[in-house]
Amino acid sequence: MNYIFRYCIRLYLVFPYVIDKLLGFCYKHLMRSCGSHVYIRPLYSDIKGLHNLSIGNGTSIPKGSVFYCTEAPLIIGNKVLFGPRPTIITGDHRIDRLGEYIVDVNEKLPENDKMVTIEDDVWTGANITILKGVTIGRGSVVAAGSVVTKSCPPYSIIGGVPAKIIKYRFTVEQVLEHERLLYPVDKRLRKEDILKSRL
Ligand SMILES: CC(C)(COP(=O)(O)OP(=O)(O)OC[C@H]1O[C@@H](n2cnc3c(N)ncnc32)[C@H](O)[C@@H]1OP(=O)(O)O)[C@@H](O)C(=O)NCCC(=O)NCCS
């Protein structure tokens, strides 16, 4: 009897794992682009609009992710670290039509959908939401529970609802050193641009 129980538990654990792996393989091929060493959990996530989703190298998409790519793409960079349950949505519904239920309005305005970009080396804390048109600058941290409605500069730490800059991860000199160690010359941020982004 114990043997049967153990067998059932093993089946219960292994079956979803295999399905998840198979789905992951299919999702990666249906995406706009997908780098190497990308880990994705389709069975436990809600991802829509794969044709508009790009994920860079070494980025893992955790269980409970909600990514809605509308007509506007979602671009996720290299080595992005997501905490549990990130929600990223690249569009809104139209809410300006008189005499029509929101759910019944099918056509959109161009400004209803806007691209979201999460640049390389970003860490998002648990339960964050990122809305249309936002760029999270390279190396930034999004604090747990934030709702991000505006873009933030590289190496910033943002938090709150709506998210605002809390502080910067590094001084400008430290950013230059960090980038020197991680990126080839042509990919590094320029000192003038970092300074300008912090004004
Ligand atoms: C963003 C974070 C890294 C900042 O940590 P920290 O550098 O130690 O910052 P502090 O705790 O000193 O807080 C600095 C300020 O930011 C505020 N702050 C910190 N976390 C915040 C949050 N989630 N939302 C809003 N404000 C926040 C603090 O209240 C503080 O404000 P004050 O200066 O007015 O007092 C951390 O708060 C966080 O959100 N970590 C995410 C943890 C997580 O979700 N992990 C998942 C596993 S991957």
- If asked whether residues 108 and 182 sit together in one domain, one would say no
Query: Do residues 114 and 43 both lie within one domain?
Result: yes
Phi, psi angle pair for 116, to nearest 5°: -115, 135
What CATH number has the domain bearing residue 12?
2.160.10.10
In order of 66, 101, 151, 165, 193, the CA distances from 158 in angstroms are 20, 35, 10, 4, 19
Ligand 1 atom showing the smallest separation from residue 81 Cα: 48
Does any ligand 1 atom lie closer than 6 A to the CB of residue 162? no
Distance 168 CA to ligand 1 centre (A): 12
Query: Is the full-model pTM beyond 0.75?
Result: yes
Please give the residue range of the domain that contains residue 126.
2-166
Q: What is the pLDDT of residue 13?
A: 76
Phi and psi at residue 43, to the nearest 5°: -65, -25
Domain check: are 154 and 194 in the same one?
Answer: no
Tell the residue nearest (CA) to atom 45 of ligand 1: 125
Please give the structure tokens belonging to residue 72: 């506007």
Q: What are phi and psi of 39, to 5 degrees?
A: -115, 125
pLDDT in tens, the chain (199 residues): 777 777 777 777 788 889 999 999 999 999 999 999 999 999 999 999 999 999 999 999 999 999 999 999 999 999 999 999 999 999 999 999 999 999 999 999 999 999 999 999 999 999 999 999 999 999 999 999 999 999 999 999 999 999 999 999 999 999 999 999 999 999 999 999 999 999 9
Same domain, 94 and 180: no
pLDDT of residue 69: 96
